[in-house]
Amino acid sequence: MNRALAVWVPDWPVVAAAAELALDPTAPLALIHKGLVFACSGAARSAGVTRGLSQREAQYRCPSITVARYDESTDARRFEPCVRALEAIVPGVHIVRPGLLAVRARGPVRYFGSEPLAAAAVRDSVLACGVPDVRVGVADGVFTAEHAARASTRTAPILSVPSAETAGFLADLPVALVSPDERTGTLLRRLGVHTLGEFAALPLEDVRRRFGAAGVWAREQAAGRDPSRLVPRELPPEFAVQFESDTPLERSDEIAFAMRSYADRFDAQLRAKRLVCTAVRIELTDEHGSEVSRVWLHPRWFHAADLVDRVRWQLDGLFRAAQQSGADPRLEVAEYQRAGIVRVRLIPERVDATAHHESGLWGGGPDERVHHALARVQSLLGPEGVGTLERRGGRSPAEQQVFVPWGDAPPPDSRLQQPWPGAIPGVPPATVFPTAEPVRLAAADGSEIRIDERGHLSGVPAELQLHASHAPRSVQSWAGPWPLQERWWVSDAAPARVRCQLIDGSGDAWLVVGDEQGWCVEARYD
């Protein structure tokens, strides 16, 4: 029969997150996903925290708990060394999910001599990566092996279920483990089927009629006849390119120049496999060992020259940030320049088949020309130099848009469909000042217009002075004040403000916003 060996790391998400955030995995720790506890450490569990609890409830049950956001990519990335460690002794490793691996038992058993010896060898190899606890289960099929690993204890971390006992071992487990979705699980419980044993005892034809193919699959699993096959992962080829310099390099153009041949190699390697890179991670390491990494996206794919550009931009940003930080800029720059860059790594984050990006027989059409033109502007002005505007939800005109640099993904959550009470309807202003400019708004008698705590104006606006050096403009017509209350639930939020629309004597229209400090012009209808 198809014996499988499952390697399970208990509470893997917690172990990974603790390593990522440098937390103590033995302290109470909970990972939150969509507001609910996704995983928690042993200490938290003994305080009564369980999976599926709301964050607040978990904090109530265990006040000393540390809460972190669950991050799927951390989970997978941190698991990679364990996979490699296992692959070093056993080929054909199947990653069920981060934290759970499966291999076909036949090969290791024959090599190591027996099931317990093979399991112990596998366990030792994964333990060597610094994981606190590893459990191994050996049984018929991946499903049974996984639950055998879960049924093992800290003192007896290896559990082997003989083929004859498979059905008996599974019989007492809850039926929810095999139900294809939550609805089926609930339905089965309502029908009085609580355990896998009871489910497996149902006639096959009845299960097929009631639950279809997915139900038959689940029943086979429940009976210990795991229909799923082991799919060993294919080793990802190594495309990352690393540039190392013996002397720390301190200037971005120096590094960019040195990177050129490495970028060419990176490009050539991918092309040899008929792949193109659409997202790249660039890691910069300075001589003190601190590392800065960033992912760059490309609207099409990276050529070697694009890669060199991205390296240069990242370095420029790094040097600028170093200059701006610190009280004494000169010292900081000198300090930073001594910390030159010694290593640059290019890692493809996302690759795609060349066939998807092949240009047509008559060229790639106008959009490719557009891309080349904009990319050239970007290489002159930097990544923020050119982009597109995206609309998003907001109350003030400046909030209603966001500038997306060319090649970046637009921010996912635009909240455009939400109502935004307080947004000004009607004609949108053509010019929006990124930072509101202070102006003077006065009544007919020349006194500045004030706003009381109820949002009423102290007079009728009659004069608008845009700048101290400008002559005041007379106000022809106006409307308002429209109150704008935002973030009143935050204690240090801006005080309530009001907005007015004005048309001045020359026919120009303005949107002004006022608070206790005075008035600012937010936008112009020009």
Residues that bind other proteins (CB under 8 A): 366, 369-370, 372-374, 376-377, 380-381, 385-391, 397, 400-401, 403, 406, 419-434, 455-457, 460, 477-484, 498, 501, 503, 507-509, 523, 525-526
Give the whole-angstrom CA distance, residue 114 versus residue 49.
Answer: 39
Residue among 88, 80, 62 at smallest CA distance from 19: 80
Q: Between residues 63 and 425, which has the closer beta carbon with respect to other proteins?
A: 425
Q: How far is the CB of 445 from other proteins (least distance, A)?
A: 17
Element (H, E) at 499: strand 497-504
Q: Between residues 203 and 426, which has the closer beta carbon with respect to other proteins?
A: 426
Q: Between residues 246 and 445, which has the closer beta carbon with respect to other proteins?
A: 445
Give the whole-angstrom CA distance, residue 215 versus residue 377.
Answer: 58
Q: Between residues 107 and 455, which has the closer beta carbon with respect to other proteins?
A: 455
Q: How far is the CB of 514 from other proteins (least distance, A)?
A: 13
Q: How far is the CB of 388 from other proteins (least distance, A)?
A: 6
CB-side neighbour CA atoms (13 Å) of 347 = 12
Q: How far is the CB of 408 from other proteins (least distance, A)?
A: 13
Q: How far is the CB of 282 from other proteins (least distance, A)?
A: 25
Q: Between residues 29 and 498, which has the closer beta carbon with respect to other proteins?
A: 498
Q: How far is the CB of 301 from other proteins (least distance, A)?
A: 18
Contact yes or no for 93/101 (Cβ under 8 A)? yes
Sign of CA dihedral 460, 466, 471, 473: negative
Sign of CA dihedral 362, 366, 367, 370: positive
Give the whole-angstrom CA distance, residue 234 versus residue 95.
Answer: 11
Q: How far is the CB of 277 from other proteins (least distance, A)?
A: 24
Residue among 133, 117, 116, 144 at smallest CA distance from 26: 133
Contact yes or no for 200/167 (Cβ under 8 A)? yes
Q: Between residues 431 and 517, which has the closer beta carbon with respect to other proteins?
A: 431
Residue 153 one-letter amino acid: T
Q: How many CB atoms lie within 10 A of CB 463?
A: 20
The stretches of 459-504 forming alpha helices (DSSP H) are: none
Q: Between residues 351 and 521, which has the closer beta carbon with respect to other proteins?
A: 521
Q: Between residues 358 and 390, which has the closer beta carbon with respect to other proteins?
A: 390
Q: How far is the CB of 417 from other proteins (least distance, A)?
A: 10
Sheet harboring 241-249: ordered strands across? 241-249, 341-353, 275-286, 291-297
